[in-house]
Structure 1
Amino acid sequence: MRLTIGKKLFWGMSALIMLFVALSQLLNSQFLEDYYVLEKKKQLMDIYSSINKIYQGDADSISLELERLERTTGIHIVVCNSKQEPTYPVKKTIQEPNAGNPPIPQPQNLNQQNSNLPHPGPEKELSFERSLIQLNLDKISEGREAIVFSKDPRIQTNFINLVTTLNNGDYLILNTPFASISESVKIANRFFLFTGLLTLIAGSVITYFMSRKLTMPILKLNDIAQRMARLDFSRKYQVESTDEVGQLGESINSLSTQLHGAISELTEANKKLLEDIERERRIDQMRKEFISNVSHELKTPISLIQGYAEGLKENVNEDEENKNFYCAVIADEAKKMDKLAGELLDLSQIEAGTFKLEKSNFEISRLAAKVMDKYQPIFSEKKINCNLMAEQGLIVYADRFRTEQILVNYLNNAINHVDSQRLITISVQSTQDKARVAVYNSGQPIPEESLGKVWDSFYKVDKARTRSYGGTGLGLSIVRAIQEIDNNRYGVLNKWGGVEFWFELDVAE
């Protein structure tokens, strides 16, 4: 079983209290009786001094004072004259009551069996005191006090006796039974044993609660320290005192706050570092993909240009019609390369941060109508039904050239993916403080897994089809870059029977 600091404190204090009780009990049993005897000797000397001061040779004159001393101290007092005859106490005969005076009440001995028994004479009663005087006559004749232990053979009782002379030479004998001292010592030892047990119980209870009170703050601090080891800094110690424990609590709180701040900063720096590493990895991956895509996009037109140029050089076809066809292919591939170079230039400017929007107020519906008019020959050639649903008078605050570029990219994308229904719809409408421009074309929906990827550079849902109409895969990337710089939304939706690409512009104030 693990001994906690509270249990150690409880058992230690309980053992200390038990040791004190046992030691006190041992000292009492060994030395209390001797101490009692010593105190009795001092008491006998004090009573002797008091009597010697007031004694003038007549014991009867101070008998009341002597009786008071006997009753209050429990010391038996005997005064004898120089002939060793008792002058106190003196047995008095019972006087007959006078006719005119009522009888004086006499104290009765409750332990006396028969009041008619003859009373022993003074000679016989005081033989014990006389023997004490005789045995210590040499010492008391020199004016010294004799304190002796003796046994009264008449009543078979041990006494502590003081035998000495008074100021006029009379003898004074003070004695007290030793049995009362022994009994008092026994009672005191029993009482102290009882109080010792009570002290042990009360001390154990008090120690238990005190140990809990003292160890509770330490347990709380330990819990906080364990939480800190698990990087949990939410718990704080409630400082309620200014002692060492309170100061330790303040130190723990300060350490917790500093560690929390340091670890938070370290975590944030680590997170930022991971983001930077991930961004660098993505950039590196994008760079590799970009180089691969550019190489792929340039490879085909360069190969075509090189092949047809060599054919012209070698006069593979001498007729004029084939030569014109060769020249037309070379010019078309050169145009595609020029378009790719222009879009790459736009993307490089955007990524370099040199791309800026030149905003102004203009009516978006007129711009949409203008772009639609430019494409009328293409619509007629491909038999496409293009409709414009525009909210008239809607003024926006945007870059006119880049807005037209977005609209052209969306319209080219719609023309290239329109199905046999040949339906394209351009819509312009206001939504709160934004103008929403959308281009819808009938056709196959974009797969769900490709909806978020169509905005990536060089991404093509159908690469073979994209190559057939000369797409580079950069148009939607440019749309995304322009809208992100302008802090406006853009997107694509699969609708019933077709696909809709949209973007938003700020409405002019």
Structure 2
Amino acid sequence: GDYDIQVEVRSHDEIGKLAIAFNDMANSIHLEEERKKEFLENVAHELRTPLSYVKGYTQAILDGVVKNDEEQRKYLHLISREALRLQRLVGDLMDLSKMESAPFLLNKTPIAYAQFIEDVLVKYEPIIKEKQLDLKLDLDPDPIIFGDEGRMEQILHNIFDNAIQYTDSGGAIHITLIQHKDDCELLVTDTGNGIPEADLPYIMNRFYRVNKARSRFDGGSGLGLSIVKKLVELQNGKIEIESKEKRGTTVRVILPNIKEEWNS
């Protein structure tokens, strides 16, 4: 279990190559063990906070600290919020576990991409109206992708959720779909808070948060973008994020057109 110990390489023959391979294997195992340890620590940390809230609020009700119905409703609302956060975290963890196990099967069908995007956006009409956001659509009707409808909806929901949530009232969101020769490009641009340059390389890492306090309050698990990245890659696509702090963010999702997908 001590991965710092390295086999001394004294030659360049078969024995030397074996020693090098052994050291490489030990380093790989060490790295994987560290990743697992970090992941488990993060999971424990994420579970600890909502559990402590649920326990504390429940105990307050049982101990009679709550004096009236109004306070009791307040505490029950807080318990419900934290229980929902636990539910989301467990769901996200199960999704990640499934996606990283082999094989992870997708139920792919032809999707008229522009219409699919519009159908998903219908669910956001009330909050867009409430926040008085200027939503602009520029969708090429031609792209047809070969994807899993349920997983594609999950991808779009996560991207749209972030754009709406982190754009202040009166801001703007521009959704563009562009057809290229072999693929199509979806761009979701907002005028929101933006992401600091130092955080951008890590934004799709598990449990990574730019604004920890705000993410905890709104119930995010810190796993959303890592799941989106994995889902996009499973459908032979890629995702990129560009952002300027206090100026906004652009999320770019590139997926192969249906002809390119079938040919591959």
Shorter-normalised TM-score: what interval?
Answer: 0.7 to 0.9
TM-score by structure 1 length? 0.46
Counterpart in the other structure of 1:323: 72
Superposition deviation, residue 271 in structure 1: 6.0
Q: Is the 8 A contact 2:195 2:244 kept in 1?
A: no
Report the residue type matching 2:201 in the other structure. G
CA distance in 2, matches of 1:445, 1:421: 16
Counterpart in the other structure of 1:502: 252
Counterpart in the other structure of 2:105: 356
Report the residue type matching 1:399 in the other structure. D
Report the residue type matching 1:402 in the other structure. R
TM-score by structure 2 length? 0.84
* Relative contact order, higher structure (CA 8 A, sep 6+): 2
Q: Which runs of 4+ in 1 moved over 4 A?
A: 269-275
Q: Is the 8 A contact 1:416 1:469 kept in 2?
A: no
Go from structure 1 to structure 2 and tell me whether the alpha carbon gap of 1:284 and 1:381 turns closer, same or farther (over 3 Å shift).
farther
Report the residue type matching 2:130 in the other structure. E
Counterpart in the other structure of 1:457: 206
1:245-284: CA deviation from partner (whole Å, max 9, x where unpaired): xxxxxxxxxxxxxx8xx56x964x6665555434323322
1:139-159: CA deviation from partner (whole Å, max 9, x where unpaired): xxxxxxxxxxxxxxxxxxxxx
Go from structure 1 to structure 2 and tell me whether the alpha carbon gap of 1:420 and 1:312 turns closer, same or farther (over 3 Å shift).
same
Larger radius of gyration: 1
- 1:412 corresponds to 2:168: no
- 1:343 corresponds to 2:97: no
Q: How does 1:182-221 map to 2 (within 5 A)?
A: none
1:292 to 24, 27, 41: 41
1:347-387: CA deviation from partner (whole Å, max 9, x where unpaired): 11122224221111011111211121101122223332222
CA distance in 1, matches of 2:42, 2:20: 32
CA distance in 1, matches of 2:178, 2:157: 18
Superposition deviation, residue 495 in structure 1: 5.8
Go from structure 1 to structure 2 and tell me whether the alpha carbon gap of 1:282 and 1:502 turns closer, same or farther (over 3 Å shift).
farther
1:383 to 123, 128, 132: 132
> How many equivalent pairs are there?
248
The share of aligned pairs that are identical, in percent, is: 32
CA distance in 2, matches of 1:336, 1:304: 11
Q: Is the 8 A contact 2:185 2:252 kept in 1?
A: yes
Q: Is the 8 A contact 1:428 1:437 kept in 2?
A: yes
Counterpart in the other structure of 1:491: 240
Counterpart in the other structure of 1:370: 119
Q: How does 1:426-505 map to 2 (within 5 A)?
A: 426-494=175-243, 497-505=247-255
Q: Is the 8 A contact 1:397 1:507 kept in 2?
A: yes
Q: How does 1:59-458 map to 2 (within 5 A)?
A: 267=17, 273-419=22-168, 421-458=170-207
Q: Is the 8 A contact 1:359 1:399 kept in 2?
A: yes
Q: Is the 8 A contact 1:398 1:506 kept in 2?
A: no
1:417-453: CA deviation from partner (whole Å, max 9, x where unpaired): 2246522222211122112112211134423332221
